[in-house]
Amino acid sequence: MIRREFLRTLGLAAGSLMLPGSVTQLDAALRAASAVEKKKVIIIGAGLAGLGAAFQLDKQGHDITVLEARLRAGGRVMTVRHPFADGLHAEAGGEWINSAHQHIIMLAKELGLELREGYGDGGIFYNQRLMSSSEAFRRIPGMARLQKAVEELQKDINVNEPPSQSSRRELDKMDYLAYLRQAGVDAEAISIARQHINGLMTVKLEEISAMHMAYEFALPQEEGGHEMRVVGGNDQIPLRLAEKLGERVFYGRAAVGIEHDNRGVRVHYLEGDRQRTIDGDHVIVAAPASCGRRLKFQPALPIESQRALNEVGYGRVMKTLVQTRRRFWENVDPPLESVSTDTEVGNIYHSSQNLKSHRGVLTFYSGGSCADAMTKYAIAERVMRAQKACAEVWPGAQHLCEGGFNHYWNAEQWTRGSYAFFAPGQMTTMREWLAKPVGRIHFAGEHTAVWQGYMNGAVESGFRAAKEIEAA
């Protein structure tokens, strides 16, 4: 379940749109700095953060080399077209672009890509009952108290302020479950919160800092904003970026170490079974921290930077994409396109709104404890379990399922997780260190961003790293 739907379930209005430093200001800063000498920049990672940084620096005339361990661009953005029929596709990775996500919206526009709204009414399946969000709020005991607790949690939070300087830093001393209990939220409403946080943050309530949840809920959002996808698939963004960079993107090149001093950097990487090196003026580590922590830095990073890189956690997420013979969910009461469930598969939502076919694709988004449960099964069994859960929510629907695709991000070598999360005590001691440059080494990725956990955050961080290099 996406953030906007969770807030709607609680009856909370979206926050006002107050973003730090507009994209226009960023472009102006880059143009103003473009008179400086040409720099050779090595970028580790061809996801949205790395390619976004490369794109910005390339426009300013710098010498760019992108090293990507995989054989494709995109990182955690992955659009799946096979095995679906009728030209259908769905997102196995990053999916939603909100109206407030200015960085990625600007980038998509610059690349000539169209965004289209793709998220309808949502609801809850709980104790064998399918309900709209408004009905769930009325029927489930304790939802009003949960709403008030979330409102109080984000009070006086400024997402642009370092957590260590926040007046609410005491929140980092407890996990989110402890906070809800302290706020007097009863057990049944906590069960609903558990469903939502499995989907929203891909962790359990007791794993994540209450302060991290405060920063998440306080992220700005346009009133009446839309959730969108890229027409043709979200992978069109990294594919277009990689196409523009051409032969400066190298695949199958896994970075293993970085030497650095005040004159430049040397990156060690693998090409097959051979180790090679490349020298540059700056390097951007745009890989997830789960991979960046495996790099050997010489000399070593500051203790605080290395500790943050080593210890920041990643959630667990699995997506199962199931093709259906027809879009049966449109003809039931209530006609919901997204459902947060208490089944083992987690959240279910329609993924093919703007695709012309009588068939459809449902995404089964298993995060946190749901991912933990689903990993017990082989891939074929995961697809069957998703189809069985579909029949629980919409009786008789199982025979309309035609098969599907499953991807568990924590099992992927170059990701090893969904997106970053901060355990109690980490927001005030680690989050700020993840984005701090160390000499000529710069860091990007959603784990370093204000919009942490979002594709927009990945792009934001890449733009920020490019700006750091321009200003160096």
**pLDDT band for position 17 (50/70/90)?**
very low
On whether residue 348 sits in a domain, the answer given is yes
pLDDT, residue 224, reads: 63
| CATH number for the domain harbouring residue 95 | 3.90.660.10
pLDDT, residue 342, reads: 96
**pLDDT band for position 354 (50/70/90)?**
confident
Q: How many domains does the chain have?
A: 3
pLDDT over 70 at 10, yes or no: no
Q: HEC string of the chain? A: CCHHHHHHHCCCCCCCCCCCCCHHHHHHHHHHHCCCCCCEEEEECCEHHHHHHHHHHHHCCCEEEEEECCCCCECCCCEECCCCCCCCCEECCCCCEECCCHHHHHHHHHCCCCEEECCCCEEEEECCEEEEHHHHHHHCCCHHHHHHHHHHHCCCCCCCCCHHHCCCHHHHHCEHHHHHHHCCCCHHHHHHHHHHHHHHCCCCCCCCEHHHHHHHHCCCCCCCCCEEEECCCCCHHHHHHHHHHHHHEEECEEEEEEEECCCCEEEEEEECCEEEEEEECEEEECCCHHHHCCCEEECCCCHHHHHHHHHCEECCEEEEEEEECCCHHHHCCCCCCEEEECCCCCEEEECCCCCCCCCEEEEEEEECHHHHHHCCCCHHHHHHHHHHHHHHHCCCCHHHEEEEEEEEHHHCCCCCCCCEECCCCCCCCCHHHHHCCECCEEECCHHHCCCCCCHHHHHHHHHHHHHHHHHC
pLDDT, residue 37, reads: 83
pLDDT, one tens digit per residue, over 70-85 is 999 999 999 999 999 9
On whether residue 453 sits in a domain, the answer given is yes
pLDDT over 70 at 6, yes or no: no
Q: Check whether residue 459 and residue 382 sit in a common domain.
A: no
Q: Check whether residue 66 and residue 100 sit in a common domain.
A: no
pLDDT, residue 367, reads: 98
**pLDDT band for position 18 (50/70/90)?**
very low
Domain that holds residue 183: 3-11+136-217
Last residue of a domain, one of 411, 436, 462: 411
Q: What phi and psi values does residue 171 have, to the nearest 5 degrees? A: -65, -25
pLDDT, residue 21, reads: 47
**pLDDT band for position 3 (50/70/90)?**
low
On whether residue 416 sits in a domain, the answer given is no
pLDDT, residue 20, reads: 43
Q: Check whether residue 308 and residue 444 sit in a common domain.
A: yes
Query: What residues have CB less than 8 Å from 28, skipping those under 6 apart?
Result: none
**pLDDT band for position 333 (50/70/90)?**
confident
On whether residue 187 sits in a domain, the answer given is yes
pLDDT, one tens digit per residue, over 169-227 is 999 999 999 999 999 999 999 999 999 999 999 999 999 999 999 999 999 877 667 89
Q: Check whether residue 298 and residue 439 sit in a common domain.
A: yes
On whether residue 355 sits in a domain, the answer given is yes
What distance in Å separates the CA atoms of residue 459 and residue 216, rounded to the nearest whole number? 18
**pLDDT band for position 4 (50/70/90)?**
low
Q: Check whether residue 181 and residue 302 sit in a common domain.
A: no
User: What are the tokens at 129?
Assistant: 């009952």
Residue where the block lists tokens 């957590």: 163
pLDDT, residue 16, reads: 45
What residues form DSSP beta bridges with 407? 319
Q: Check whether residue 103 and residue 67 sit in a common domain.
A: no
On whether residue 264 sits in a domain, the answer given is yes
The number of CA neighbours under 13 Å toward the Cβ of 434 is 33
Q: Check whether residue 307 and residue 368 sit in a common domain.
A: no
pLDDT over 70 at 64, yes or no: yes
